[in-house]
Amino acid sequence: MRWYTVTDPPGTEPIRLPSVTTILDVTMPQNRRETLVRAELAAPVNYHIKREAAIARGTAVDDWVKRCLREKRVYGAPHPVELQCKRLLPLVRGIIKMDGQVWTDEVVHSIPMGYAGTLDVVATLPSGLVALIELKTSAYTIWPEAVAEAQLQAAGYFLAWGRMYPERGLTAIATYHVTPYMIHEEVVSGTAALGRAVHAWTLRLKQFASRFNAMEL
């Protein structure tokens, strides 16, 4: 589990808050958890090698995208994720062309809601929507379950950002899943759709509170 120590406002007693990813992991649907456990038990060494490789790929892609957006120029893609970066290139160029403000790796939190986390990117999409952007990579397949989980993760950051920075209004949640062969974009905008996304996140948050309290007992 990952926890953040938050002092807000400054000078008050620090509070430990679980991360968005910890909340989603603890409340993962049982059938998905069983699938992962079976894969690990069947070939534990191979499972962990693949997992570490996936983390390394994701970090490399994230770092490239964020550097390009922060510095407003396109850099050469790092090996071995050139193809994944190529899929994201139109998005990166489009955001740079919008010439809006960009935030990367911002830590957000909500003490009343009881969580914190580090978002990927906040930027203006080529469509003009100001979005909370979550980036995900995969070796081959983009599973619907992974898209749904990324949307929940982004919704958690979206809600916390809105509470911390109401003057920096966001108008969308956008998740991008990329493999060497394809890219999947999922954009949620509009009051009703964003409300549904945030509601889905708060349901998982309540599940976490219930399960964590049970573990504490």
pLDDT digits (tens, 9 = 90+) for 109-142: 999 999 999 999 999 999 999 999 999 999 888 9
- The helix or strand, by DSSP H or E, that contains position 52, with its residue range, turns out to be helix 44-71
- The helix or strand, by DSSP H or E, that contains position 47, with its residue range, turns out to be helix 44-71
In angstroms, the CA 149 to CA 111 distance is 22
Give the residue-averaged pLDDT of 185-213: 95
Q: Map out the domains of the chain with their CATH numbers.
A: 3-216 (3.90.320)
pLDDT score of 37 more than 90: no
Give the residue-averaged pLDDT of 85-90: 98
3-state helix, strand, coil in the chain (%, to 5): 50, 20, 30
pLDDT given at position 42: 87
Around 158, how many Cα atoms within 13 Å sit in the side-chain half-sphere?
Answer: 32
Chain length of the chain: 217
217 pLDDT band, cuts 50/70/90, is very low
